[in-house]
Amino acid sequence: MSTMPRAADRGLAEGGGRAGQPLLTQLGDLLRMELSNWRWSWRSLLITATLSPLVSVLGLGVFARDSGPDALLYVLTGNVVVSLMFGNLGNVESHFGFMRARGALDYLATLPIRREALILAVVLAFLLMSLPSLAVTIGVGSAILGVPVRLHPLLALVVPLAAASLSSVGALIGVAARTPEEGGPLALLFTLLMAALGPVVVPPSRLPAALVTLGRLSPATYAASALRQTLVGPVTGRIVLDLGVLLVVTGVLLALVSRRMDWRQA
């Protein structure tokens, strides 16, 4: 006989409800669990998230050199955003899709944990695993393109917010797609669209006005703007708008993920 219902009942009895332990305690335990899931495959994740933007830097950098330093700056910071998307959006989507397909979410729903803690743990785990590829993209990319990097302290806030907003898109696709086979192409489509729409990799002067306008609907546009300011400078009043949009997008999407996730109630 399965002991799963008994374990859930004990958690409810001891904690007085589904969320017996504090949110931070649950978040810490779930984060360790998520990180341990990737202890054998984190190298392949790192390679994928690093090679994709570096290949793009090499390819686009050849054409951007004739367009001046501004174009090179956009290539560098835009590909940092691409690194965050490949390291977070796609991986978060596939992880949630896998957990749904294999019944892991059904199992976790029987435990006295909050769905918000699980969602945040998944997002934070992939953010931590994407930081090495992000550092390589910035360091190697700036050397290849000849763009001087001057790190601003606000970068420590911009990177988590940018990653969280893009991961939230992946989480929503993962819990909303009917099958993992459907979710994967959708995540790739959103990644390509957000990289192409708006001044992310290409300066706005080189884009049609329609794409610039549509880019205002994409969190990648605001992530790229914030990264340009905090990686190279100068930091302007635009940073407030960028961070505000990323914060709102993250909050709204994570709330939608929480509502969309099938979670048994106590």
Span 70-89, pLDDT tens digits: 888 888 888 888 877 767 88
Q: Is residue 228 predicted with pLDDT exceeding 80?
A: yes
pLDDT for the residue numbered 245: 94
Residue 80: both structure tokens together: 């940092």
Q: What are phi and psi of 161, to 5 degrees?
A: -70, -40
What are the counts of helices (DSSP H) followed by strands (DSSP E) for the chain? 12, 0
Q: Do residues 194 and 82 make contact, with C-beta atoms less than 8 angstroms apart?
A: no
Q: Kindly give the residue spans of alpha helices, DSSP state H, lying in the chain.
A: 4-15, 23-37, 42-64, 69-84, 90-102, 104-109, 115-145, 155-176, 180-196, 209-215, 219-231, 238-260
Longest dimension (CA), the chain: 70
pLDDT for the residue numbered 86: 67
pLDDT band (50, 70, 90) for residue 193 = confident
In this prediction, residues 205-221 reach a mean pLDDT of 88
pLDDT band (50, 70, 90) for residue 17 = very low
- Whether the bond between 234 and the residue before it is cis, its omega within 30 degrees of 0, is yes
Q: What is the pTM of this model?
A: 0.81
Q: Is residue 24 predicted with pLDDT exceeding 80?
A: yes
Q: Do residues 31 and 125 make contact, with C-beta atoms less than 8 angstroms apart?
A: yes
pLDDT band (50, 70, 90) for residue 264 = low
Mean residue pLDDT of the chain comes to 81
**Residues 246, 138: Cα–Cα separation, whole Å:** 21
Only one residue has tokens 């729409």, namely 197
